[in-house]
Amino acid sequence: MKKFSHLAVPYIVWSIIMLLLPMLLIVFYALTDSGNAIINFSFTLENFRKFFTDPDFLLVLWRSLSIAIKTTVICMLIGYPTAYFISKCSQRVSNILVLAITLPMWINMLVRTYSWIGLLSDGGVLQTLCKILGFGSPQLLYTEGAVLLGMVYNFVPFMILQINTSLAKMDKSLLEAAADLGANKFQVFWKITFPLSLPGVISGIALVFLPAVSSFFIPKLLGGGQYFLIGNVIENQFITAGEWNFGSAVSVIMAVIMMMSMYLVRYIEKRNSGQEKEKKV
């Protein structure tokens, strides 16, 4: 045990320097008005008051939550049928399909997002296809739809993989037992398959919603600066405006929202697995 504690020291030090210390600095800047220098500071809540009393910032927050919810819902609608289809395939075909889904993730997300600029730009492949189909020349790039498309494209693999993992681990004998008892295919799915896959669905929702709500380079590239989300506000405050204190306050607000979301997901997951009932007993 003593030897294990010595081996853990470098990881503890690394965690303090790389994780805890930056978070403490962000909280410090959020609660002070010292600019980007840790001298001559005074504690204040003005940065938080500024955010919650400015309708423009509240609109950006609502827009960020809205696009994250839309992304999560679309990813779930696409991801569940895809994962269900993969789980029904043979082991060999299933492995090939999972590889096909994960293969694009080997490429940097920024590069993959850049590729959509060429596809959605004026005179690009998709606009040309719209002309051929008789839809005219709609504006595809620098719109909410483009941002939503980029979000779904980048995050839907997380949803598929999480749901597929739950479906793959499911005891297939339960499905056979339900069929032997007279349940039709829909009843088997709704009463057995879907409830048993909920842990994967919940994990997928967390893995999609949390990065989507704080994303900044996807709306920056595909929104062209016209579709501002909360991640862009934070980036702008630190890099362009130099308002470290206000940027830190917004970061703290988003961190609280994310922690609340994670707690809610964890609570639902515990309740679904029956842990809450066991505690009561």
Q: What is the pLDDT of residues 239-276, one digit of tens each?
A: 888 888 899 999 999 999 888 888 887 787 777 666 44
Query: What is the token pair recorded at 87?
Result: 């789980």
The tally of domains found in the chain comes to 1
pLDDT for 137 equals: 79
pLDDT for 96 equals: 93
Rounded Cα distance between 110 and 112, Å, is 5
Q: Is 151 inside any structural domain?
A: yes
Whether the pLDDT of residue 76 is over 90: the answer is yes
Q: Is 12 inside any structural domain?
A: no
- Coil, strand, or helix at residue 43? strand
Q: What percent of the chain has pLDDT over 70?
A: 93
**Closest alpha carbon to 37 in 220, 237, 177, 245:** 245
CA distances, 148 to each of 25, 53, 80 (Å): 33, 28, 19
CA distances, 184 to each of 145, 164, 166, 167, 212 (Å): 39, 22, 22, 19, 38
CA distances, 67 to each of 73, 123, 196, 260 (Å): 10, 27, 28, 18
Q: What percent of the chain has pLDDT over 90?
A: 31
Residue 35 binned pLDDT confidence (cut-offs 50, 70, 90) = low
Residue 41 binned pLDDT confidence (cut-offs 50, 70, 90) = confident
Q: What is the pLDDT of residues 224-238, one digit of tens each?
A: 777 788 888 998 888
Q: Is 52 inside any structural domain?
A: no
For the chain, what's the residue count? 281
Residue 5 binned pLDDT confidence (cut-offs 50, 70, 90) = low
Kindly report the pTM of this predicted structure: 0.84
Residue 59 binned pLDDT confidence (cut-offs 50, 70, 90) = very high
DSSP 8-state secondary structure symbol assigned to residue 228: -
- Given a contact cutoff of 8 angstroms between Cβ atoms, the answer to whether 204 and 151 are in contact is no
Query: What is the token pair recorded at 164?
Result: 């597929």
CATH of the domain at 182: 1.10.3720.10
Residue 281 binned pLDDT confidence (cut-offs 50, 70, 90) = very low
Owning domain of residue 98: 58-280
Q: Is 154 inside any structural domain?
A: yes
pLDDT for 105 equals: 87
Rounded Cα distance between 162 and 229, Å, is 27
Q: Is 10 inside any structural domain?
A: no
What's the whole-number average pLDDT of the chain?
Answer: 85
What residues form DSSP beta bridges with 32?
A: 43
Residue 280 binned pLDDT confidence (cut-offs 50, 70, 90) = very low
Q: Is 275 inside any structural domain?
A: yes
pLDDT for 228 equals: 81
- Given a contact cutoff of 8 angstroms between Cβ atoms, the answer to whether 199 and 269 are in contact is yes
For the ranges 38-42, 83-87, 123-127, 168-172, which has the lowest average pLDDT? 38-42
Q: Is 253 inside any structural domain?
A: yes
Listed in sequence order, the residues at least 6 apart from 110 whose beta carbon sits closer than 8 Å to its beta carbon are: 217
First to last CA, the chain: 34
Q: Is 1 inside any structural domain?
A: no
pLDDT for 8 equals: 78
- Among all chains, which residue has been given the structure tokens 């609608």? 77
Q: What is the pLDDT of residues 80-125, one digit of tens each?
A: 999 999 998 888 999 999 999 999 888 888 889 988 988 888 888 8
Query: What is the token pair recorded at 36?
Result: 């980007």
pLDDT for 276 equals: 41
- Given a contact cutoff of 8 angstroms between Cβ atoms, the answer to whether 141 and 122 are in contact is yes
Q: What is the pLDDT of residues 207-227, one digit of tens each?
A: 999 899 988 889 988 987 777
Element (H, E) at 19: none
